[in-house]
């Protein structure tokens, strides 16, 4: 078993070596946002930090390299040619294989950081939203999402999922089933909470 701080150091060393300057800034932005959200919502800050450091570790690899990983790790062939989705699934495999991460919550938070999924844990929601609102993000509506994120995490996830679904639709691409299921699952969770 590798100690958490060693894993953190190994991840930072990898990020510093392998990622572009802008991806490094984004990653460290997600780390600070994820830690702030974890503190705010009473989640494990160490796990949030490791998941945030891990989430985009293969994002800068060329498409051919990612496609090779999809085959090597026996991931669904629909990920071939789709780096937007595959980088999350591959990162989840790499952190298990190369960094000794065994915590399933961290692994799932990395694996579902682009799509979300039904039944997201608190950590998964935190990483999903931290990725969308980290300080370097500047798209229209990001400030509104930042405010919602610290008031109601489910509502923020629903809004971010809607943004993603609309963006993918407007580009004529295929919307991942997990995103649609995640949105309806979170809406149902919110309705249940409001009824109590
Ligand atoms: Fe990503
Ligand atoms: Fe990211």
Domains identified in the chain, total number: 1
| CA of 130, nearest ligand number | 2
Instruction: Give me ligand 2 centre to Cα 10, in Å.
Output: 19
The Å distance, Cα 29 to ligand 1 centre, comes to: 13
Under a CB-based contact definition with an 8 Å cutoff, are residues 153 and 125 in contact? yes
Output the CA 114–ligand 2 centroid distance in Å. Answer: 8
Quick: pLDDT tens for 129-183. 999 999 999 999 999 999 999 999 999 999 999 999 998 888 888 788 999 999 9
Supply the pLDDT for residue 175. Answer: 84
Closest-lying ligand to the alpha carbon of 90?
1
The pair of three-digit structure tokens given for residue 48, joined into one six-digit string: 């949030």
pLDDT of residue 5: 78
Question: Does the pLDDT of residue 2 top 70, yes or no?
Answer: no
DSSP 133-150: HSTT--STTHHHHHHHHT
Q: How far is the CA of 69 from the centre of ligand 2 (A)?
A: 19
CATH (domain of 105): 1.10.3210.10
Q: Is the pTM above the cut of 0.85?
A: yes
Residue range(s) defining the domain that contains residue 87: 4-195
With bands split at pLDDT 50, 70 and 90, how would you rate the model's confidence at 55? Answer: very high
Give the pLDDT confidence score for residue 174 in this predicted structure. 78
CA 54 to ligand 1 centroid distance, Å: 10
How far is the centre of ligand 1, averaged over its atoms, from the C-alpha of 192 (Å)?
30
Task: Note whether 16 and 24 are within 8 A (CB).
Answer: yes
Residue 4 reports pLDDT greater than 80: no
Mean pLDDT of 112-121: 97
Q: What is the pLDDT of residue 168?
A: 86
The whole-angstrom separation of Cα 91 and Cα 72 is 13
Rounded CA separation 87/111 (Å): 9
Distance (angstroms) between ligand 1 centre and the Cα of 56 equals 5
Residue 63 has pLDDT above 90, yes or no: yes
Q: Which ligand is nearest to the CA of 113?
A: 1
Query: What value does the CA radius of gyration of the chain take, rounded to a whole number of Å?
Result: 16
pLDDT at 11 over 90: yes
Segment 14-52, tens digit of pLDDT: 999 999 999 999 999 999 999 999 999 999 999 999 999
């Amino acid at each position: 078993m590798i100690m958490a701080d060693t894993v953190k150091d190994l991840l930072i060393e990898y990020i510093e070596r392998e990622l572009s300057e802008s991806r490094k800034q984004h990653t460290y932005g997600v780390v600070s946002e994820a830690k702030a959200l974890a503190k705010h919502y009473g989640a494990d800050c160490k796990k949030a930090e490791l998941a945030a450091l891990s989430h985009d570790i293969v994002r800068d690899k060329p498409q051919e390299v990612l496609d090779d990983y999809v085959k090597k790790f026996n991931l669904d062939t629909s990920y071939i040619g789709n780096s937007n989705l595959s980088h999350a699934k591959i990162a989840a495999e790499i952190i298990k294989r190369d960094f000794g991460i065994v915590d399933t919550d961290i692994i799932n938070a990395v694996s579902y950081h682009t799509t979300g999924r039904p039944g997201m844990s608190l950590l998964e929601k935190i990483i999903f939203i931290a990725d969308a609102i980290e300080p370097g993000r500047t798209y229209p509506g990001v400030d509104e999402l930042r405010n919602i994120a610290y008031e109601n995490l489910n509502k923020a996830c629903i809004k971010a999922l809607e943004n993603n679904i609309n963006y993918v639709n407007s580009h004529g691409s295929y919307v991942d089933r997990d995103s649609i299921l995640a949105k309806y699952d979170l809406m149902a969770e919110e309705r249940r909470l409001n009824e109590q």
